[in-house]
Structure 1
Amino acid sequence: MIKKTLYFGNPAYLSMRNSQLVLNFPDAKGLDDQSGRNTIPIEDIGVVILDHKQITITHALVEKLLANNCAIVTCDESHMPQGLMMPLSGNSVQKERFTNQISASVPLRKQLWQQTIRAKIKNQAALLEMIPRDINTENMHFWASKVTSGDSENHEARAAAYYWANIFDIPGFKRGREEAPPNNLLNYGYAILRAVVARSLVSSGLLPTLGIHHHNRYNAYCLADDIMEPYRPFVDKVVLDIMNAGIDYTRLGKEAKWHLLSIPQVDVLINGKRSPLMVAVSQTTASLYSCFEGTRRKISYPQLIGAYGATK
């Protein structure tokens, strides 16, 4: 089942009744009970994004959302995601899974990172091939094939430099959190993706903090940042679609956000089958745990699906 992503960008009072999220919009009338109220089953919710200073949410609702493994994202005054709240445990055999994750050997972690970077570069190449410009991707496929255990030769950086120089038809474009648009859309989309991946990691009984490659002492979601790498091109494609549709990408307007909020429902190809991204992420994190457990050797990562349903 595809979980819903809920975005709240207006004043609202969010509470709980009978395992339902109860919405009360002070400025809205004419919903279910003619008082500006509506309800959504909590079991259907995967991500909640809070993007207004006049939103009130009850502790009972927060507790219930976290108990159902929902990710709660809060935004700052510039409407960019700032905080992520996750449950401490999301699996019935948590201790066993933590133990297997923590005791994973260095060679295994390096092999998993090799698989991750290969999948990322292949998806980047696939996206470049979809762009109606003459972009040579032979080097991307070469770099993907040459990624070694732990990516010791840093092919990820080589591929990234070429990828960002070609993906947008914008002279001098630089990828960076504080750089010019469409970096604003990329930042927002990656934050949504990160929440989806972190949620799925917890559901699979894994610690989002303990990465296979990222080890920033101040980052509580190192593993999420690792596992989301091959999924980043899916966000990039949504941003490209926004720009190609003529939507103003210099600001995070409602129309641009609407497209970015569709990221969990984007179609991907994983294990030979089409699947919504949110469902695919759960397959990825489940396969990751199986690698830690020793019952398999490869993570299931998605392929980018082109406009006509296939990658080159």
Structure 2
Amino acid sequence: MIKRTIYIGTPSYLKLKDQQLLVQDPNGSEKGTVAIEDMALLVLDHYQITLSTQLLNQLQSHCIAVITCDSHHLPFGVTLPLYGHTEHSERLKHQLEASEPLKKQLWKQTIIQKIKNQEALLNLYNRVAEPMETYWEQTKSGDSTNTEAKAAQHYWKYLFPEFQRHRFGQGPNNLLNFGYAILRSIVARALVSSGLLPVLGLFHKNKYNPYCLADDVMEPYRPFVDKMVVNYVNNNGKTNELTKDVKAYLLGIATQDVLIDGMQRPLMVAVTTTTASLYKCYAGELRSIKYPELD
């Protein structure tokens, strides 16, 4: 069963009742319920939302990512349990003992698949894609020649005409930022479920970043967010406002079908396949991470 993403953007009181999330308005009137076991993400996008500790504990016991948004309505923080797998200590042992050559090879695989997916997206919209094949073919262990950045320059130049990718730039940067933040939370949740620490990255090592591994693993998935944003812009034009409808559309990234390991799977399920294969690489059971292919 596909887990649900729940978005709450109005003043609300959230509590646990009969193993369900109960949503009440400030006057105490019931607005709705959702079974805890059906949820994967809970997005809180209002400063006047209150939730009980009992509910929070239950959400954590089911490895549900609770995402809070900032004043710009962009995902700002995520709450996850300290562990989400019965073999947590055993799996951490393999992650901590992973060698640098192994991590460099896994990062190479990650960048190759990211560039391949970017190439596929450019081809899908009849953009100039020829140089992308050269970039992923030339990617070396640890991406020592920085082909990721070279490919990105070409990719953004042709994906959106007259566009510059900036964190706080004009639209559709806002749409991309929102989609990436949700994607990051999905990946972090899957890593915890697979018994891995999101803080210990393959490539990213920023001491201020608690989700280095999530930032690594999400790279080949970014073009799936880009695809949703391109489709939105093509149908609605660029917008600098993250409306309720825009956010509802982008939250659908979790259920987008992707091709992974020869099968079509919802993205949220595919991410779990990826993180499970990453653990097997750490443990010496696999040599390659299973990543999605954009078709």
Bin for the TM-score computed over the shorter chain: over 0.9
CA contact (8 A) 2:172 2:238 kept: no
Tell me which residue corresponds to 2:250: 260
Measure the CA separation in 2 of the matches of 1:209 and 1:154.
22
Tell me which residue corresponds to 1:302: 292
Tell me which residue corresponds to 1:213: 203
Deviates further, 244-253 or 294-303: 244-253
1:63-94 CA-to-partner distances (Å, cap 9, x unmatched) read 11011000011011111111111110001011
Large movers: runs of 4+ above 3 Å: none
Measure the CA separation in 1 of the matches of 2:173 and 2:237.
15
CA contact (8 A) 1:242 1:249 kept: no
Offset of residue 203 of structure 1: 0.2
Tell me which residue corresponds to 2:57: 63
Tell me which residue corresponds to 2:68: 74
Output aligned runs, 1:1-312, within 5 Å. 1-26=1-26, 35-131=29-125, 133=126, 135-169=127-161, 171=162, 173-246=163-236, 249-304=239-294, 311=295
SS at match of 2:46: coil
CA contact (8 A) 2:22 2:30 kept: no
Measure the CA separation in 2 of the matches of 1:168 and 1:248.
10
Offset of residue 178 of structure 1: 1.7
The Cα RMSD (Å) is: 1.3
Aligned length: 295
SS at match of 1:261: helix
Instruction: State, as a whole percentage, how many aligned pairs show the same letter.
Output: 51
Measure the CA separation in 1 of the matches of 2:27 and 2:231.
32
Offset of residue 38 of structure 1: 2.0
Measure the CA separation in 1 of the matches of 2:251 and 2:147.
31
Offset of residue 36 of structure 1: 2.9
Offset of residue 301 of structure 1: 0.2
1:229-279 CA-to-partner distances (Å, cap 9, x unmatched) read 000000011111111121552210122111101010011000111000000
SS at match of 2:209: coil
Measure the CA separation in 1 of the matches of 2:57 and 2:227.
35
- Residues 27 and 182 of structure 1: is their aligned pair in 2 closer, same or farther, counting only changes over 3 Å? farther
SS at match of 2:270: helix
- Residues 228 and 205 of structure 1: is their aligned pair in 2 closer, same or farther, counting only changes over 3 Å? same
SS at match of 1:262: helix
CA contact (8 A) 1:249 1:256 kept: no
Offset of residue 213 of structure 1: 0.4
Q: TM-score scaled to structure 2, two decimals? A: 0.97
Q: Letter of the aligned partner of 1:178 in structure 2?
A: F
Flag structure 2 segments of 5+ consecutive residues without an equivalent: none
Q: Letter of the aligned partner of 2:151 in structure 1?
A: A
Q: Letter of the aligned partner of 1:40 in structure 2?
A: V
CA contact (8 A) 1:200 1:281 kept: yes
CA contact (8 A) 1:8 1:52 kept: yes
Q: Letter of the aligned partner of 1:73 in structure 2?
A: I
Q: Letter of the aligned partner of 2:195 in structure 1?
A: G
Q: TM-score scaled to structure 1, two decimals? A: 0.92
1:34-85 CA-to-partner distances (Å, cap 9, x unmatched) read x434221101110000001111111111111011000011011111111111
Flag structure 1 segments of 5+ consecutive residues without an equivalent: 29-34, 305-310
